[in-house]
Chains A and B, each alone.
Chain A
Amino acid sequence: MPVTLHGATKVWQRHDRRTQFTIWGLWLLAAAGFAYCSAFVSEKTIWPFVLDAPAQAVDLGVRMVPPDWSFIGTLWKPMWDTLNMATLGTAIAVVLAVPIAYCAARNTTPSVTVVRPIAIFVIVSTRSINSLIWALMLVTIIGPGVLAGILAIGLRSIGFCAKLLYEAIEEIDEHQVEAVRAMGASAGQVAAYGIVPQVMPAFAGISVFRWDINIRESTVLGLVGAGGIGLPLNAAITTLAWTKVSLILLVIIASVVVSEWVSAKVRQAII
């Protein structure tokens, strides 16, 4: 307990002197790093444009109201496509995530030295590439459309689902697995009766959670040509049809709120 004497009175401090200096040193370093980085950002910024921003914002705000409700009839199809991209993409991802998670979990992987690092690499690489970049790639490869969106969402979500799932598998109760194995069950039966029932709630929770995120992500994939509500959004922005833009944004907010509500309800029902 660092206590210093000031004359006769004892004063308590949270840290002793050395820790205090280390903390100050780290803060100084962080501040210097921040200053250095912000200098670079500011060098590449055109400040007159930035200072002009409030006027721009007001101008845009005025042009965006009222939303053009007559446009809503053409939005149902893209919205349905967005929903499909998120749902089918999530379905692909969870199906592919199961074997990868099985290989990545320390307690179920066939080989710690070979298979596990490969599975971990797959998880990290699909996770670190944003679905928009996946879509960008897939659009150049298989052409614009909903299929590119589905695959982009699927590929992006594999890593996320597999990571959470393998953590759930690593946390299971080994006694149950042991009990099933002791009855003479084969490897497949051990997985089906010892492991699956234990991770099933987590698995369902992860799928719904990711579906919710994917609804949000699939709203923008159209910006690079992968179908969904992003296509009309992009078209409206490039043609400066701001009243249509505001309507599309309202539709996106509504869908995000609904999907969040659905996912919360389903997860409550499971857990």
Chain B
Amino acid sequence: MPTGVAATAPRVWRRPPAIKSASLRWAITIGVLAYLAAAFGTTEVNWHRVWEGLPRGARFLSAFFPPDFTTRWSEILDGMLESLWMTVVATAVGIVLSIPVGLGAAKNVAPAPVYYLCRGFLAMSRSFQEIILAIFFVKFFGFGPFAGVVTLVVATIGFYGKLLAEDIEDIDPGQAEAVRATGAGWTQWINYGIQPQVMPRMLGLALYRFDINFRESAVVGIVGAGGIGATLDTAFNRYEFDSAAAILLIIIGLVMAMEYSSGFIRRWVN
């Protein structure tokens, strides 16, 4: 054994740190600690009330075993069906309306003024939470599912239009150009050059948006815009935890069913 090797100190490997500069690492650590101290210091928690609520929490958990589907069944069924109708209508209308907006917001299809107009509209409709939109639409259209449908339509346009526009911007321009070179008109160009390229992904996203809309339709009811949310709110306010548990389980079950079937539909289409 050569003596040179034995003379060197044993080398220990250490994992390289995630952030290379040591000073930046310290600054971030101190910043995070300071923020946490400030956040916990200023958060007022009424521990007495929390303590008081714990048995109520236990009662709520025990209400899941078994949940009470029967007592309020007609209200639950009404609310659920209303949520479903709202979801179907809002998803369909929202997607149909988001096609022109999405086309307008794609840089490679629309002229500049249309592009900025559509992008602005998309940014606007996405910056508000559905609930805030729902409050205003309830003021405009009165209580009931119509306000909820309009809310979900606006939210759908904001989501779907943006993703559609991004997808159109990412297409293979060669195919679109080939269609154009055959002398196709504008609608033919869209129909045969662009639509087939974005269709598979957009179909998947439509199903995903349906799923989101159903979940959202369960909350817009809290502010009076129809759907199961109103029933759920009432159940909580009356401390009818077993009915609330039943509603929550139905929502979870439906969302799970949608997730499975959307995977199935996507495979079938492809």
Binding site for B on A (CB under 8 A): 14, 30, 33-34, 37-38, 40-42, 44-46, 49-50, 53, 56-57, 60, 80-81, 84, 87-88, 124-125, 127-130, 132-133, 136-137, 140-143, 145-147, 150, 193, 197, 200, 216-217, 219-220, 223-224, 233, 237, 249, 252-253, 256-257
Q: A40-B81, A44-B226, A252-B128 are in contact. Are A124 and B259 (CB under 8 A)?
A: yes
B89 CB contact (under 8 Å) in A41, A81, A129, A217: A41
- Chain A interface SS verdict (over half): helix
Q: Do the beta carbons of B251 and A50 come within 8 Å of each other? A: no
B144 to chain A, nearest CB (A): 5
* Interface footprint category on B: 35 or more
Q: Do the beta carbons of B222 and A216 come within 8 Å of each other? A: no
Binding site for A on B (CB under 8 A): 15, 18, 35, 39, 42-46, 49-50, 52-54, 56-57, 60, 81-82, 84-86, 88-89, 92, 127-129, 131-132, 135-136, 139-146, 149, 192, 215-216, 218-219, 222-223, 226, 229, 232-233, 236-237, 239, 244, 248, 251-252, 255-256, 259
Q: Do the beta carbons of B219 and A132 come within 8 Å of each other? A: yes
Chain B residue at smallest Cβ distance from A49: B142
Chain B residue at smallest Cβ distance from A87: B39
Residues from chain A with Cβ under 8 Å of B215 in the complex: 128-130
Q: A193-B15, A252-B128 are in contact. Are A223 and B45 (CB under 8 A)?
A: no
Residues from chain B with Cβ under 8 Å of A220 in the complex: 129, 131-132
Residues from chain B with Cβ under 8 Å of A37 in the complex: 84-85, 88-89
Q: Do the beta carbons of A140 and B255 come within 8 Å of each other? A: no
Q: How far is the CA of A193 from the CA of B15 in the complex (A)?
A: 8
Q: Do the beta carbons of A45 and B144 come within 8 Å of each other? A: yes
Q: Do the beta carbons of B140 and A56 come within 8 Å of each other? A: yes
Q: Do the beta carbons of A33 and B88 come within 8 Å of each other? A: yes
A143 CB contact (under 8 Å) in B39, B53, B92, B255: B53
Residues from chain A with Cβ under 8 Å of B236 in the complex: 136-137, 140
Q: Do the beta carbons of A128 and B53 come within 8 Å of each other? A: no
A34 CB contact (under 8 Å) in B89, B226, B237: B89
Q: Do the beta carbons of B42 and A219 come within 8 Å of each other? A: no
Q: Do the beta carbons of A41 and B149 come within 8 Å of each other? A: yes
Chain B residue at smallest Cβ distance from A39: B85
Which of A80, A147, A252, A253 has the most chain B CB atoms closer than 10 A to its own CB? A147
22 contacts between A and B (CB under 8 A): A37-B84, A38-B85, A41-B146, A41-B149, A42-B146, A45-B144, A49-B142, A53-B141, A56-B139, A60-B140, A130-B218, A132-B222, A133-B229, A133-B248, A137-B244, A141-B60, A142-B57, A146-B44, A223-B131, A223-B222, A224-B222, A237-B135
